[in-house]
């Protein structure tokens, strides 16, 4: 497994400014394609050899490596479905601060492309892109939609016809004399 260093990480190891890395070591060993950016990268062994005083010649044509996001974009596939197809990464790109990002070569992408095309030709549409998030419908919304589809009156509880309560005859207002006495006050 290879490790590729970013310009800043190579500069940290060499103890120089990042603008001088290409002048000191030479052309980059690889290009890491992430999104719409192509980032130059150098092999760790080559940077360490230069630090020891040895010069390793760069390759004639830098190798191209793709991040998972770029691979998914180029193969028109969701990245969570693509990762098992690609398998272990071919190299790790060490970016600023020591963060490592997995990258895959062009050969790995071609192999994954063949597997996807064979599956699509056989009628399997599981590799097609789908909407990232489907709207969640709550139980309350489903009930409301069901009520709209059926008649609403048939599903509702009947309301009481009258809300007036009749009191017992012992009530204060039941006696006409007490009623007249209260009105006078």
- Report pLDDT digits (tens) over 75-104: 888 888 889 999 999 999 998 888 899 999
pLDDT above 70 covers a percentage of the chain that reads 77
The highest-confidence range among 61-75, 136-150, 167-181, by mean pLDDT, is 61-75
Dihedral (CA of 84, 71, 115, 125) sign: positive
The pair of three-digit structure tokens given for residue 165, joined into one six-digit string: 């309560």
Measured over all CA atoms, what is the biggest interatomic distance in the chain, rounded to whole angstroms? Answer: 121
- Report pLDDT digits (tens) over 150-182: 765 665 666 666 666 565 555 555 566 766 666
Report d(CA 48, CA 55) in Å as an integer. 10
Please state the domain extents for the chain.
2-121
Q: Is the pLDDT of residue 34 over 60?
A: yes
The pair of three-digit structure tokens given for residue 146, joined into one six-digit string: 């069901």
Q: Is the pLDDT of residue 108 over 90?
A: yes
Q: 48's torsion region: left (phi>0), alpha (psi -120 to 50) or beta? A: alpha
Report d(CA 19, CA 52) in Å as an integer. 20
Dihedral (CA of 134, 138, 141, 147) sign: positive
pLDDT number for residue 1: 55
The 8-class DSSP code of residue 57 comes to P
DSSP bridge partners of 30: 41, 63
Q: How far is CA 181 from CA 61, 171, 176, 177, in A?
A: 112, 14, 9, 6
């Amino acid at each position: 497994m290879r490790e590729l260093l970013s310009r800043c990480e190579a500069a940290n190891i060499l103890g120089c400014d990042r603008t001088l890395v290409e002048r000191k070591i030479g052309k980059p060993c690889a290009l890491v394609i992430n999104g719409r950016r192509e980032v130059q990268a150098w092999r760790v062994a080559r940077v360490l050899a230069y630090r020891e005083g040895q010069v390793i010649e760069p390759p004639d044509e830098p190798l191209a490596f793709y991040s998972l996001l770029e691979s998914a974009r180029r193969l028109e596939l969701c990245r969570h479905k693509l990762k098992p197809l690609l398998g272990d990464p071919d190299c790790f790109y060490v970016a600023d601060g020591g963060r490592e990002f997995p990258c895959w070569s062009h050969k790995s992408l071609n192999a994954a492309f063949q597997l996807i095309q064979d599956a699509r030709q056989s009628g399997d549409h599981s590799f097609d892109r789908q909407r990232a998030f489907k709207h969640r419908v709550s139980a309350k919304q489903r009930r409301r939609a069901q009520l709209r589809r059926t008649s609403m009156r048939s599903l509702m509880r009947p309301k009481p016809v009258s809300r007036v309560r009749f009191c017992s005859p012992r009530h204060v207002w039941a006696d006409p004399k007490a009623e007249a006495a209260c009105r006078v006050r």
